[in-house]
């Protein structure tokens, strides 16, 4: 029996990018883009998974909405700012429409900008809700990878985020004209489906993060649904996420051909991915030394729910308020920004 193997991966036509249009009043039309749907589905999936992970840590799962709102707003703003600043020729100059800077439905959300400002949003939301920043961050990162996987399908609908030319059977068809395609390539040239590579990498990462977390657990008398102490706490799972995603992203960025800002002969996003790996390793090492035991509670000291959610453990740990951890969050943002040397 013969197995049919496609000769290429077709891209969605222009009609698939806009799923719905409704003229509410003359001059104002509500438009639903496939890119926005992919991002929305990713946010919902991440929220459901993060809520469940907060619950097994003894925290109120509903807090994912309180904190997530801040994270999404800050993250989208940061992702767009980072993208625009690393692709200035697409938005600034003679004949360019400056309002395109705000057209996020057309694509263009840089994950590293989203991570930087998204972390600020998480910190703000955690301070307002009484959650520990590190508790929420560690609960979030598998869902964050899942959301990124869904979001990459938005790039597929927009025919962006593709790589070098290829003649492989999994080559991606891209319609012309497309400003990301270098001049001189024939009309039937296929490209590496970078978006698909990253989807697969992210989904593998979701599995590995959860597996690593379950592997490194210890018995405790936590009065919760699952009587274990999560050893990869205090931001260490966040560090593992940064190492995993940054490693993959360095490769994905190196095979992309769309125009981008270059620093010392290397794409800015490759430097940002390298910075993510370094910061992730530092988080794992530094937080492991600062907090050798399990978290005493998912809530900051003095919070109303901290007593009921607390853990009695034989482990020793410094019970440091998240005010002290502010320095680590600030260092996280400062290190990542410095890695891009004036090109955020």
Tell me how far CA of residue 46 lies from CA of 72, 140, 237, 280, 328, in angstroms: 11, 7, 16, 21, 24
Q: What is the pLDDT of residues 33-71, one digit of tens each?
A: 888 899 999 999 999 999 999 998 888 889 999 998 999
Question: What residue ranges do the domains of the chain occupy?
Answer: 14-173+190-313+334-339
Q: Are 252 and 157 in contact (CB under 8 A)?
A: no
pTM of the model: 0.78
Locate the DSSP E strands across 192-340: 217-219, 228-230, 262-263, 266-267
Q: What is the pLDDT of residues 259-310, one digit of tens each?
A: 777 888 888 889 999 999 999 999 999 988 888 777 788 888 876 554 444 4
Residue 23: which residues within 8 A CB-CB, separation 6 or more? 29, 30
pLDDT tier at 321, thresholds 50, 70, 90: very low
Q: What is the secondary structure of 47-95 as a DSSP string?
A: HHHHHHHHHTTTS-TTHHHHHHHHHHHHHHHHHHHHHHHH-GGGTSSTT
- Residue 141, pLDDT > 70, answer yes
Q: Look at residue 210 and give its three-state secondary structure.
A: helix
Q: Look at residue 321 and give its three-state secondary structure.
A: coil
Region 156-167 average pLDDT: 89
Euclidean distance between CA atoms 282 and 277, whole angstroms: 9
Q: Are 68 and 125 in contact (CB under 8 A)?
A: yes
pLDDT at position 2 is 54
pLDDT at position 185 is 87
pLDDT tier at 205, thresholds 50, 70, 90: very high
Q: What is the pLDDT of residues 95-124, one digit of tens each?
A: 777 777 887 766 677 888 888 899 999 999
Q: Are 126 and 132 in contact (CB under 8 A)?
A: yes
pLDDT at position 270 is 92
- Average predicted confidence (pLDDT) for the chain: 79
Q: What is the chain's length? A: 344
């Amino acid at each position: 029996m013969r197995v049919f193997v496609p000769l290429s991966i077709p891209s969605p036509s222009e009609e698939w990018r806009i799923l719905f249009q409704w003229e509410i009043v003359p001059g104002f039309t509500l438009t639903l883009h496939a890119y926005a749907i992919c991002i929305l589905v990713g946010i919902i999936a991440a929220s459901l998974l993060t809520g469940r992970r907060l619950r097994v840590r003894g925290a109120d799962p509903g807090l994912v909405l309180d904190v997530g709102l801040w994270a999404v707003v800050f993250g989208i703003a940061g992702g767009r700012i980072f993208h625009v600043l690393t692709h200035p020729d697409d938005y600034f100059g003679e004949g360019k429409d400056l309002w395109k800077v705000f057209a996020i439905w057309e694509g263009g959300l840089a994950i590293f900008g989203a991570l930087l400002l998204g972390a600020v949003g998480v910190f703000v939301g955690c301070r307002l809700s009484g959650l520990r920043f590190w508790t929420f961050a560690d609960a979030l990162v598998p869902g964050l990878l899942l959301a990124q996987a869904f979001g990459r399908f938005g790039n597929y609908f927009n025919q962006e985020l593709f790589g070098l030319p290829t003649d492989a059977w999994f080559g991606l068809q891209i319609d012309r004209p497309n400003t990301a395609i270098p001049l001189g390539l024939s009309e039937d040239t296929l490209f590496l489906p970078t978006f698909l590579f990253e989807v697969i990498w992210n989904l593998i990462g979701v599995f590995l993060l959860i597996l690593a977390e379950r592997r490194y657990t210890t018995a405790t008398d936590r009065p919760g649904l699952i009587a274990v102490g999560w050893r990869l706490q205090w931001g260490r799972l966040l560090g593992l996420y940064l190492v995993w995603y940054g490693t993959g992203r360095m490769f994905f960025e190196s095979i992309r051909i769309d125009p981008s800002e270059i620093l010392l002969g290397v794409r800015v996003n490759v430097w940002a991915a390298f910075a993510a790996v370094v910061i992730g390793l530092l988080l794992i090492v530094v937080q492991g030394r600062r907090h050798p035991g399990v978290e005493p509670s998912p809530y900051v000291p003095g919070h109303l729910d901290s007593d009921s959610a607390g853990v009695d453990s034989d482990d020793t740990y410094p019970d440091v308020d998240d005010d002290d951890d502010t320095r680590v969050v600030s260092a996280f943002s400062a290190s990542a920004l410095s890695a891009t040397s004036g090109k955020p």
